[in-house]
Amino acid sequence: MSAVPISVTTLAAMKSRGERIACLTCYDASFAHLLDAAGVDLLLVGDSLGMVLQGHATTVPVTVEQMAYHAGCVSRGRERALVVADLPFLACATPERALDNAARLMQEGGAQVVKLEGGATMLETVRRLTDQGIPVCAHLGLLPQSVHRIGGYRFQGRDHASSEAIRHDALAMQDAGASLLVLECVPATLATEVSVTLTIPVIGIGAGAGCDGQVLVLHDMLGLNPSRPPSFSRDFMSGHDSIAAAIAAYVEAVRTGSFPAVNETPY
């Protein structure tokens, strides 16, 4: 595996060549090393750490300080993969606050891209960040930080109005300067359409096989979720005798398009 670092332009080139992008969440240096060696392209330091590491019921309690700490751990453990860190709950409530917190994730945590949730209301923030040279990954569809507002972890974009809003917001995020887009828990047909329409890479989770790449929560794909795993996930430890082999199998499945399968695409 080449140690040449991956950048947002690398991922854009992969999309243009039709090469699928393999992504996983990551929270520490040891796993960063394993994922990097297996060929994972993007390490997402997700605020999902609030649930899988800290035991919270949602991502809401996670702080900027915690995100910077874990991003730093991941950054020190990888050589090649791109490190993307979540701006946690209310960290980008205003463009100024987002700028300050993104600077912390990059300067203290070594993140190369920051990810934020939300559509039209976040456009000014995306413009402000990108104007200052900060690469942004947008996140549409199911927004975990808004779980209390939407009443649970529900699939989005299943009716005309919400699907049109996602289409509009995806284009608007690209126009505002976002370098990447995560689409979570939306119908596969909608995710495929957005992926084809946009020039920036679209990474899906619970959004079917038509996206430019896939991401899963690391603990889900290793079968470490103590509760019922998401319907769109797969236990890659099953049939493999090591974590490294399971991660390599995930990368191969994403590259070949065999993950997600039809039965792992709820809508």
- Around Cβ 214, how many Cβ atoms within 10 Å? 27
**Is residue 184 annotated as a catalytic residue, yes or no?**
yes
- Catalytic pick from 96, 184, 252, 264? 184
Q: Which residues of 22-31 are buried (b: 16+ CB within 10 A; e: fewer)?
A: bbbbbbbbeb
Instruction: Report the alpha-carbon distance of residue 203 to residue 44 in Å, rounded.
Output: 11
Contact 111, 84 (CB under 8 A): yes
CB 115 within 8 A of CB 144: no
Amino acid at residue number 84:
V
Q: Which residues contact 219 (CB under 8 A, 6 or more apart)?
A: 25, 52, 225
Q: Which secondary-structure segment (H or E) carries 44? A: strand 42-45
Partners of 24 in the β-ladder:
43, 216
CA neighbor of 128 nearest in space, from 139, 114, 107: 114
Q: For the range 47-53, what are the long-range contacts, defined as Cβ-Cβ under 8 Å and sequence gap of 24 or more?
A: 47/86, 47/88, 47/89, 47/144, 47/145, 48/144, 48/217, 49/25, 50/88, 52/25, 52/27, 52/217, 52/218, 52/219, 52/224, 52/225, 53/27
Please report where in the chains the tokens 């040891």 appear, as a residue. Answer: 30
> How far is the C-alpha of 48 from the C-alpha of 58, rounded, in Å?
8
Residues 6+ apart with CB under 8 A from 224: 52
Residues carrying an active site annotation: 184
